[in-house]
């Protein structure tokens, strides 16, 4: 009989980058537009500021994710090269090390030895990468994927408060931005939790709480500098 299970851990790389990008796009753009609107900027100035923030933010997120995840990939590759050298120079010690790992996980010594020998015969580097280093092929760092997911998500997130600012009346724009931002964040939290198979209420609440905290600090700083943003 076939046993089917639905796991979503393989989505963790791009989903993390996408949620971070969208969350940052929504909050930072909404806060930026609130500050500009509070300064009685014209509609054209609002549009220019929003578009500039969207483009700059998306490119910044893409660059940041690419550099960050590339650094992780470099570390993984260096560890794999070191492990390859160790397997070439001292295969017996590596076999004992792998056996010890399986024994520490609960296998009796004879079975641990048998498993280590079988996996070493099949693909020693893969066995050590997975069980010693914790590097899995499906979870390996992918810089370009993370960069694209983050940039696209930031642009999509930033477009929402920008569209709200364009459509809202000038007199109520800050209130519309605040209310719509909370709505967008709630949708983001629920969607991300659903995509990752996590608790929707918990995911939504987490995004909302931190979104409110971020906007609250933005409003407080604006008040300190003489700009009432909310």
What is the DSSP track for 164-185? HHHHS-GGGHHHHHHHHHHHHH
Question: What's the CA gap between 166 and 51, in Å, rounded?
Answer: 11
> Structural domain tally of the chain?
1
Proportion of the chain in helix, strand, coil states, percent, rounded to 5 = 85, 0, 15
Looking at residue 224, its pLDDT comes to: 67
Nearest Cα to Cα of residue 132 among 164, 96, 159, 108: 96
**Residue 96 within any structural domain of the chain:** no
Q: Which residues contact 164 (CB under 8 A, 6 or more apart)?
A: 30, 176, 177, 180
Lookup: tokens for 165: 């600012």
What is residue 219's predicted lDDT score, i.e. its pLDDT?
61
Q: Is 6 among the domain residues? A: no
Structural domain includes residue 116? no
Does residue 79 lie in a domain region? yes
* Span 89-117, average pLDDT: 91
Rounded CA-CA distance 41/28 in Å is: 18
Query: Is 130 a domain residue?
Result: no
- Diameter over CA atoms, the chain: 77
Kindly state whether residue 27 falls inside one of the protein's structural domains.
yes
Over 90: is that where the pLDDT of 155 sits? yes
What is the pLDDT, as a whole number, of residue 229?
Answer: 45
Domain span at residue 180? 12-89+146-224
Distance CA 143, CA 68 (A): 8
Contact, 153 vs 17, CB < 8 A?
yes
Could you tell me if residue 73 is inside a domain?
yes
As a whole number, mean pLDDT of residues 178-191 equals 88
Nearest to 200 by CA among 208, 186, 210, 190: 190
Q: Rounded to an integer, what distance in angstroms lies between the CA atom of residue 192 and that of residue 22?
A: 10
Q: Residue 148: what pLDDT?
A: 87
Assign 125 to helix, strand or coil.
helix
Measured CA distances, 93 to 96, 99, 109, 167, 181 (Å): 5, 10, 16, 68, 57
- Answer yes or no: is 74 within a domain: yes
Q: What is the pLDDT of residue 51?
A: 93
Least trusted range by pLDDT, from 44-53, 91-100, 181-190, 203-212? 203-212
> What's the pTM?
0.70
């Amino acid at each position: 009989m076939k046993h089917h299970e639905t796991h979503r851990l393989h989505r963790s790389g791009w989903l993390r980058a996408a949620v971070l990008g969208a969350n940052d796009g929504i909050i930072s753009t909404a806060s930026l537009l609130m500050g500009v609107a509070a300064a009685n900027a014209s509609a054209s100035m609002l549009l220019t500021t929003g578009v500039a923030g969207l483009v700059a933010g998306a490119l910044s997120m893409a660059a940041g994710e690419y550099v960050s995840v590339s650094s992780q990939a470099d570390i993984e590759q260096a560890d794999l090269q070191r492990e390859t050298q160790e397997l070439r120079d001292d295969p017996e010690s590596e076999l004992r090390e792998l056996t010890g790992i399986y024994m520490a996980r609960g296998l009796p010594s004879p079975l641990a030895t048998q498993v280590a020998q079988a996996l070493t015969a099949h693909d020693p580097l893969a066995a050590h990468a997975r069980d010693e280093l914790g590097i899995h092929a499906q979870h390996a760092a992918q810089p370009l994927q993370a960069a694209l997911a983050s940039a696209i998500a930031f642009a999509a997130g930033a477009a929402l408060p920008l569209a709200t600012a364009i459509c809202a009346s000038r007199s109520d724009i800050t209130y519309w931005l605040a209310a719509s931002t909370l709505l967008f964040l709630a949708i983001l939290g629920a969607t991300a939790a659903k995509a990752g198979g996590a608790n929707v209420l918990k995911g939504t609440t987490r995004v909302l709480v931190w979104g409110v905290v971020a906007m609250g600090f933005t409003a407080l700083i604006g008040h300190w500098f003489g700009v009432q943003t909310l």
